[in-house]
Amino acid sequence: MNAYRGKHVSAAARRASPSFHRGRHQVRYPHRRRSLIIGLILIVLILLYPLLEARLILTDRVTIRSDDLPAEANNLRIVYLSDIHYGFWFTDADVSRLVSKINNLRPDLVLLGGDYGTDNASAVDFFVSLRKQGTLHSRYGVYGVIGEMDRGESAADLTKLTESMSNAGVTPLVNKVAAVNVASNRIYIAGVDDYIVGDPNFRTVAGSVSAQDYVIFLSHNPSAISDAQLATDSSGTLGWFDLGLFGHTHGGQMKIFGSLLDIAEDVPDRYRGGWLKENRVDLLISRGVGTILYPGRLFCFPQIHYITVTN
């Protein structure tokens, strides 16, 4: 009789049984624990991934063509980089690795696009570090413009910066044009002062070259593109440069949350990042190397550029 009743214990009695409750919890708690662990792992990955991505500098390799390039300069190899932001999040060790990465590409020209630090003092310190960590090797030299972070508030600050650039083997281009000898011909690199806090003189740099020359135009801020395209060469002709290289925007730095960082909101949308072709001129707005405001990137890897120019 007892055995019979045991086979027909009611559902309510089973739920009231201590052994029944213990069995339910033994099934439920492991699932909760597993979900909690997975959730914590996902949160950690979400928080750490942007910091990891910011450390992975990619090399963007592009080949472009120009009729103005002298035959002797065919297959000209240019390495361009911008927005390093030397400081707490970009250390001497990072500078050393960056120098090795650039030198391994065996460039003919190295061009720097500004914002080397987070202020004038750290920009000067970057070039001190660059001098200590190793020389940038380039067949035809290293040239650079300055950004709004670098310039400082006085003429003395600017002089200190340009002297530190020169001491590190970098030719500063602040409203200047450098003639680069390539065999029996020349190419030209023109650079202007920062567009935001400086005094860019487009007329001077454009008037120093001819539209038939091969000219690379450097400006930290891509907002300068429109003004540069309105300038004329030594004979009053438009279209005085062939390749324009810019930075400043970081490509947004955080593809999904970039608007929260408010990086380079002054730049027109069409100049936010990447390669463009306007008026037969090749334009590049780089995502840059370093970070600002937040030391992470999201789906916006840092980059240097390896540009091969053919004729």
* SS3 at position 144: strand
What is the per-residue pLDDT for 288? 98
Domain with 21 in it: 2-48
Based on the fold, state whether residues 81 and 159 are members of the same structural domain: yes
Based on the fold, state whether residues 108 and 200 are members of the same structural domain: yes
- Distance of alpha carbon 240 from alpha carbon 218, whole angstroms: 13
What is the per-residue pLDDT for 168? 97
Based on the fold, state whether residues 28 and 107 are members of the same structural domain: no
Return mean pLDDT, the chain.
Answer: 90
Alpha-helix residue ranges (DSSP H) falling in the chain:
2-7, 11-16, 18-53, 92-103, 120-133, 155-167, 202-206, 224-230, 258-261
CATH number at residue 249: 3.60.21.10
- Distance of alpha carbon 147 from alpha carbon 221, whole angstroms: 7
Based on the fold, state whether residues 8 and 84 are members of the same structural domain: no
Residues of the chain with pLDDT under 70: 1-28, 44-45, 257-259
Based on the fold, state whether residues 122 and 229 are members of the same structural domain: yes
Number of domains in the chain: 2
What is the per-residue pLDDT for 4? 44
Based on the fold, state whether residues 138 and 40 are members of the same structural domain: no
Q: Which of 132, 210, 123, 222 is nearest to 172 (CA)?
A: 123
What is the per-residue pLDDT for 290? 98
Based on the fold, state whether residues 100 and 22 are members of the same structural domain: no
